A and B are shown apart, each in its own frame.
Chain A
Amino acid sequence: MKHRENFKKWLQESPVDHGVTDDLDRKAVEGFQYLDEGSSLDESMERLDQRFESLLDEQPLTSVDTEKKAQAVVRPLMRQRRWMGVAAAILLLVLPTLYFLNKPANSAQLFANHFETPRSPYLLTSRGEADQNMPDLTSAFTLYEQGDHEQALPAIRELITKYPQQEDLTYYAGVSALASEMPEDAIALFKQAQQTQYQKVDEKSAYFLGLSYLKLGDLEQASQWLKKAESGVYGEKAKNLAKELE
């Protein structure tokens, strides 16, 4: 508990007196002024220690191997379920077909069926030297990959001006905005992203503009953007969704 003991010393005196100039340590020390009256670091940490031990007991740590094994089990089940889903879909078409063909598409439902957040490359691959000094990039895309888009969106937006060479950041910000139920913001971001061909972001954005307008219920705009997207990387997805909109 060497780190905690050093920290207690800092709390008693200014961290600068102990040669600590780390800004993050200073911020943590500042936080302790907000302890409840009569409370102490030791008492709080004792409670946290107990809660931490309970957490470890309840929640086993997941390693990379554990997750791969879990996914390996899930994949055959998903394949089986997919075939069952196909069979069910055929039945649905054969039965009251005329009624379903005449019913207008429910745009919210269509959106929910087709919207998926794409994986970002920022955690999957290394892009060389530049990544080593971009911890904020990693942090933002960790939130993105976790599906925590309400937190990811402001974090990614902050990166757009900071890393202008990463021209796909506006696109991923748009995805987070759409995932956060903010289609108007998403539209603005995807339209900006249309201005670059970096990582085919212009093609991808066209498809997501279609989805964004679908979310808003503007089927005409949605169809127009999906038409544009048909010649791009998400062409198949765009065609399938466009068909359902007809």
Chain B
Amino acid sequence: MQPLTTLTDEQLIEQIKSSGNSAGFRIIYERYGHLIFGWCMRYLKQQAASEDATMDILEQLLKNLHRYEIKDFKNWLFLLTRNHCFQKLKGKTTVLMDDLSRIDGEDVMESGKKDPLEVERIEEALHEQIENLNEHQKICIVLFYLKKKSYKEIVDQTGYEMTKVKSHIQNGKRNLRLSLEHVYNEE
């Protein structure tokens, strides 16, 4: 009998479904546990929350894997993880997105009420563009908007001066706005 470790993901899943063998599920965890954790951190930006989210996803898989018909496991698992994280983030990125769409109180990106599909596309693009910011801007944007830290807390945590913190946030927002404009305007 072929060792489980040599099976493809899809073969392994079929094996797990038919036998309920936890050895197969352990191999799935070995292959993907750290990736699920990394994906969670990419979206949630917080270690503890990401560890919890990883376990939620693994528990979900353990209970329901036998029901799924999966053709491309890695991509499927990523989408499952991302959707789970977007649910956890619901509301947290809204403030940032609202700020990005306004200059001097004017809505420059005509954000308005958008289709949920578009919101999801913009949310994915937002996370992608945050990664493209320079280090200082990224740290300050993430701490301020996603971890809800005050300016003072950011100063204490990073060692940046207060004026620098505000400047990094301002410049970071500008850069995010510029890079997201094409996403907002895409119809």
Chain A positions within 8 Å of B, measured between CB atoms, are 1, 3-4, 7, 24-25, 27-36, 39, 41, 44-45, 47-49, 51-52, 55-56, 59-67, 123, 126, 131-136, 138-140, 142-143, 145-146, 150-151, 153-155, 157-158, 160-161
Contact = CB atoms under 8 A, between A and B. Distances in A.
Interface of B: 16-22, 25-26, 29-35, 37-48, 50-51, 54-55, 58-60, 62-72, 74-76, 78-80, 83-84, 86-87, 115-117, 119-121, 131, 142
Contact of A52 (B33, B68, B87): B33
A89 to B, nearest CB: 33
Given A52-B58, A138-B76, A157-B115, A45 B33 contact: yes
A1 B35 CA distance: 13
A65 B18 contact: yes
Nearest to A62: B66
A157 B116 contact: yes
A178 B122 CA distance: 24
A59 B18 contact: no
Contacts of A140: 79
Contact of A154 (B18, B78, B117): B117
Contacts of B69: 123, 126, 138
B117 A31 contact: no
A55 B62 contact: yes
A66 B20 contact: yes
B21 A154 contact: no
Interface of A is mostly: helix
B181 to A, nearest CB: 21
Contact of B20 (A4, A60, A151, A161): A60
Contact of B47 (A29, A36, A63, A145): A36
Contacts of B34: 3-4, 7, 28, 41, 45
A170 to B, nearest CB: 12
Nearest to A35: B47
A117 B186 CA distance: 34
A133 B35 CA distance: 22
B74 A48 contact: no
Given A48-B55, A138-B69, A30 B79 contact: no
Contacts of A51: 51, 55
Contact of A27 (B38, B58, B80): B38
Given A7-B34, A31-B40, A150-B87, A131 B71 contact: yes
Contact of A143 (B54, B83, B115, B117): B83
Contacts of B37: 28, 31, 44-45, 48
Contacts of B54: 48
B45 A145 contact: no
Given A47-B51, A138-B70, A145-B67, A28 B20 contact: no
A131 B62 CA distance: 24
Nearest to A68: B66
